[in-house]
Amino acid sequence: MKIHHIPCLEDNYAYLIIDESTKEAAVVDPVEPEKILNVAQQHGVVLKLVLTTHHHWDHAGGNEKLRQLVPGIKVYGGSKDNVKGCTDVVDNGDKISLGADVSILALHTPSHTNGHISYYVTSKEGEDPAVFTGDTLFVAGCGKFFEGTAEQMYQSLCVTLGSLPKPTRVYCGHEYTVKNLQFALTVEPENVKTQHKLSWAQQQRKAGLPTIPSTIEDEMETNPFIRVELPEIQEKVGCDSAVEAMREIRKRKDNWRG
């Protein structure tokens, strides 16, 4: 399995997932269809599937055009999310296969939108899995609770995504990492791993390079929204439970002007 990031719009990422033995590919959130097709052609692959994380236009807005450009392509999206151009709805636990070796598991990760889906992707033994988290989990951050609650985001981040194997690579929907890490340091100023990751991320961006992927393990060490289960984080934000801390940290992030 090979994964290529494709920068789109101002700070979005689409992703090309390639099954190397068959040269069949899936694309995550192809908001700029012509750009996606060019990248697919450069890699000599055939686009078979679209994996849509959620219905917002900057993720699903290219689906209908891509269906025109690639007749017969399947477009997957969450059953509760009314995704534009969707041909096949998925629910939590549904499995999709790509080529000979790639398996895709749909995980329902609501809060940003009601039907948000993250896609957990595995290939041959010995390869680290990957998860495409759209706007639920960002590097060192999480999406705004537009259609859901702190309880749902806690479940999505800490339970559903937090239970994936630690080496799982995290590919999110936007390049927000530097700002997220700067905010994370307002919650945990003494977190050395966060400090180091911020200087690394700043160097990456100066060089015009992406800060993805992260890993689940990395997020557990640096992302305040996944760390809400830790008593020391709850104490820092004056809360008695993980869900309360999730709500409070999101409120602080929404009001933060870093």
Give the residue numbers marked as catalytic: 54, 56, 58-59, 112, 135, 174
* CA 104 – CA 4 distance, rounded (Å): 16
* CA 174 – CA 18 distance, rounded (Å): 21
Alpha-carbon separation of residue 203 from 45, 187, 192, 197, 209 (angstroms)? 32, 22, 17, 10, 8
Using DSSP's 3-state secondary structure scheme, residue 214 falls into strand
CA torsion angle 232 252 225 117 (round to 10): 160
136 exposure class (CB count in 10 Å sphere: 0-12, 13-18, 19+): buried
Question: Under 8 Å CB-to-CB from 36, ≥6 apart: which residues?
Answer: 6, 14, 16, 27, 30, 47, 62, 66
* CA 120 – CA 135 distance, rounded (Å): 15
- Which residues on neighbouring strands pair with residue 170, listed in sequence order? 131, 214
Report the chain's C-alpha Rg in angstroms. 18
172, 226, 237: which is closest to 201 by C-alpha?
Answer: 172
